[in-house]
Amino acid sequence: MPAPTATLALMRNPDQHRWLLANQHALPEAIDEFLRYESPVAMATLRFTTTPVAVDDVVIPAGELVLVSLGGANRDPDRFPDADRLILDRRDTGHLAFGHGLHRCLGAFLGKLEGEVALGALLRQHPRLALAAEVRQLRWRDTIMLRGLESLPVSLHG
């Protein structure tokens, strides 16, 4: 899991940072919320319709290219109450950060474990971590498929 994006989410939500420092045993569940809130794979790989597909009152004809926004689905307010808020004890693993169905991520377990190890070490070793740049100065990777930072300047001592 891209730890810089999760770290930024923590720095921007000091109440959640404090909560996680006090509840580090809850990190495995919190990882799911980080993945929902800032989905690293923002767009699924390309799909094509083989038959007409109805989505609400829109029918996508057969043979069309379909781009599915996993990041958008993970902020759907009809599915996730207060979808634009990071709520680390949300305890909802029904997000689409690893895709869905036949092609769901084969490395999901490993990806979550990596995030847990990286963020856990960061929290333990640098509990006073703080953002060392203006949010508007941060540069995001120039691709619509992935959501990730080019870099994240931090101060280790608050």
Question: What count of Cα atoms within 13 Å lies in the side-chain half-sphere of residue 39?
Answer: 25
Q: How far apart are CA 115 and CA 34, in angstroms?
A: 10
If one counts every other C-beta atom within 10 angstroms of the C-beta of residue 50, the result is 9
Interface with ligand HEM by CB under 6 A: which range of 52-60, 72-80, 100-108, 150-158?
100-108
**58 interacts with ligand HEM by CB under 6 A:** no
Q: Which of 59, 62, 110, 130 binds ligand HEM (CB under 6 A)?
A: 110
Alpha helices in 12-157 (DSSP H): 14-22, 27-37, 70-73, 108-125
**71 interacts with ligand HEM by CB under 6 A:** no
**120 interacts with ligand HEM by CB under 6 A:** no
Where does this chain bind ligand HEM (CB under 6 A)? 1, 40-41, 44-45, 70, 97-99, 103, 105-107, 110-111
